[in-house]
């Protein structure tokens, strides 16, 4: 097990450095830089050339690209990604400030999708071929195909504009500070309903269909037939025999979903003006905020690699053969 973990972490470190090179090259290949942001705010003829040169020097934009990468990588090793172009606050501080909002929003969506979609997938596998199961498959396929921005606008129109049941956007109401503790909790919960629903529907459909597909590969095997021949009930066959053997692909899926909780949803957070790191990513890209964009990308990459390693570890725990043969 120790050798297996060592291999996985070695792969993760090499992958991380590859991601830093690709990310740095891509962000610097996009037209514009932090100087473009300042010129766009103040106008091309209002900023003295010395000020623009100072900005370029502050962000090492006056040096060759390989030197810029060296400066940036040195900062990555110490979690110092430099000051933000927008407000000159440390980029990492801005991310840590917005991170809890995205974790709460996407975490609720993940839990709702998992605790709803996986049981539905179990039910679909047990009713495979029935008319109701085929109808549900079509519904889930349509849900997964719907674009999130369209669903978000539809929910806003129905529940906020037409019926005025829920807030249209934002994280809190204007009178949030004047409400009681319970009133604040209710207000925050009301603002979370529409973005959570928008983030949940596609994940729910994906988990349901993925669980059904994983079970379909197991449910027709000989040991399932033997269990049924011994008189084991259908729920016991599904939960104690089929589902346990279908856990391996589900572990991989759930492990790789973790980074989504931390990176947030750029589209959904922007539409609902939810102050998370997804919206921060969008605003940083618009303003050419290199330090924040690169910091967000690195943080997302790190959590993606850690989640991948965690999924592999759980995979090895669930199937001891993986520890000997290595990940497939």
pLDDT at res. 328: 46
146's tokens: 């719907």
The whole-chain average pLDDT of the chain stands at: 79
Identify the residue whose tokens are 């989640």.
307
H/E element holding 255? helix 247-263
Question: Which 3 state secondary structure label does DSSP give 83?
Answer: strand
pLDDT at 46 over 80: no
Asked whether residue 47 is domain-assigned, the answer is: no
Look at residue 57 in the predicted model and tell me its pLDDT. 75
Instruction: Report whether 281 contacts 260 (CB < 8 A).
Output: no
Residue with tokens 């934009």: 61
Q: Kindly state whether residue 301 falls inside one of the protein's structural domains.
A: no
Contacts of 205 (CB under 8 A, 6+ apart): 117, 139, 140, 141, 143, 144
Query: Taking 50 as the threshold, does the pLDDT of residue 164 lie above it?
Result: yes
CATH number reported for the structural domain that contains residue 268 in this entry:
1.10.3720.10
Sign of CA dihedral 280, 285, 287, 289: positive
Confidence at 13, pLDDT banded by 50, 70, 90: confident
The domain total for the chain is 1
Is 42 a residue whose pLDDT tops 60?
Answer: no
- Is 54 domain-assigned? no
Q: Would you state the pLDDT for residue 194?
A: 92
Does residue 295 lie within any of the structural domains? Answer: no
CB 268 within 8 A of CB 223: no
- Of 41-45, 53-57, 194-198, 323-327, highest mean pLDDT: 194-198
Query: What letter would DSSP give residue 195?
Result: H
Instruction: Render 113-182 in DSSP notation, one character per residue.
Output: HHHHHHHHHHHHHHTTTSHHHHHHHHHHHHHHHS-HHHHHHHHIIIIIIIS--S-SSSSS-TTGGGS-HH
- pLDDT category at 32 given cuts 50, 70, 90 is low
Tell me if 147 is assigned to some domain: yes
- What pLDDT, on the 0 to 100 scale, is given for residue 49? 73
In whole angstroms, give the CA distance from residue 46 to residue 38.
10
Distance between CA atoms of residues 263 and 255, nearest Å? 14
Asked, for residue 226, whether it belongs to a domain, the answer is: yes
The whole domain housing 190 covers 99-275
> Distances from the Cα of 207 to the Cαs of 120, 199, 246, 247, 250, in angstroms?
9, 13, 13, 12, 9
Q: What is the pLDDT of residues 107-143, one digit of tens each?
A: 888 889 888 888 888 788 777 767 777 787 788 888 8
Q: Is the pLDDT of residue 327 over 50?
A: no
Model pTM score: 0.76
The answer to whether residue 265 is domain-embedded is yes
Per residue in 209-261, pLDDT (tens digit) is 888 877 777 777 777 777 777 777 777 777 766 777 777 777 777 666 766 66
Q: Does residue 159 contact residue 166 with C-beta atoms inside 8 Å?
A: yes
Residue at 203 is within a domain = yes
Q: Which residues contact 23 (CB under 8 A, 6 or more apart)?
A: 294, 297, 298, 301
């Amino acid at each position: 097990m120790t050798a297996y973990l060592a291999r996985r972490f070695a792969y993760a470190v090499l992958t991380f450095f590859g991601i830093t090179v690709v990310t740095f090259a891509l962000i610097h290949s996009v037209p514009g830089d932090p100087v473009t942001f300042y010129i766009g705010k103040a106008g091309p003829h209002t900023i003295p050339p010395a000020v623009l040169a100072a900005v370029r020097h502050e962000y090492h934009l006056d040096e060759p690209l390989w030197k810029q990468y060296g400066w940036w990588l040195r900062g990555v090793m110490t979690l110092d990604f430099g000051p933000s172009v927008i407000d000159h606050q440390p980029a990492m501080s801005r991310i840590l400030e917005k991170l809890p909002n995205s974790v709460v929003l996407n975490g609720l969506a993940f839990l709702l999708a998992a605790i709803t979609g996986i049981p539905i997938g179990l039910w679909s596998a047990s009713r495979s071929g029935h008319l109701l199961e085929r109808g549900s498959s079509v519904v889930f396929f349509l849900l997964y195909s719907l674009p999130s921005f369209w669903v978000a606008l539809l929910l806003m129109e129905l529940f906020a504009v037409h019926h005025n049941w829920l807030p249209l956007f934002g994280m809190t109401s204007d009178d949030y500070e004047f409400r009681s503790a319970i009133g604040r909790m209710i207000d925050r919960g009301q603002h979370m309903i529409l973005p959570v629903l928008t983030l949940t529907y596609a994940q729910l459909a994906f988990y349901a269909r993925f669980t059904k597909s994983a079970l379909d590969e197991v449910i027709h095997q000989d040991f399932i037939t033997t269990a049924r021949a011994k008189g084991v009930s259908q729920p016991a066959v599904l939960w104690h025999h089929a589902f346990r053997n279908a856990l391996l692909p589900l572990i991989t899926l759930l492990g790789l979903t973790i980074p989504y909780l931390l990176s947030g949803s750029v589209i959904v957070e922007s539409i609902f003006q939810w102050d998370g790191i997804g919206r921060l990513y969008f605003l940083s890209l618009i303003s050419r905020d290199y330090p924040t964009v690169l910091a967000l990308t690195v943080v997302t990459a790190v959590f993606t690699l850690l989640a991948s390693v965690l999924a592999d570890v759980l995979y090895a725990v669930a199937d001891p053969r993986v520890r000997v043969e290595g990940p497939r």
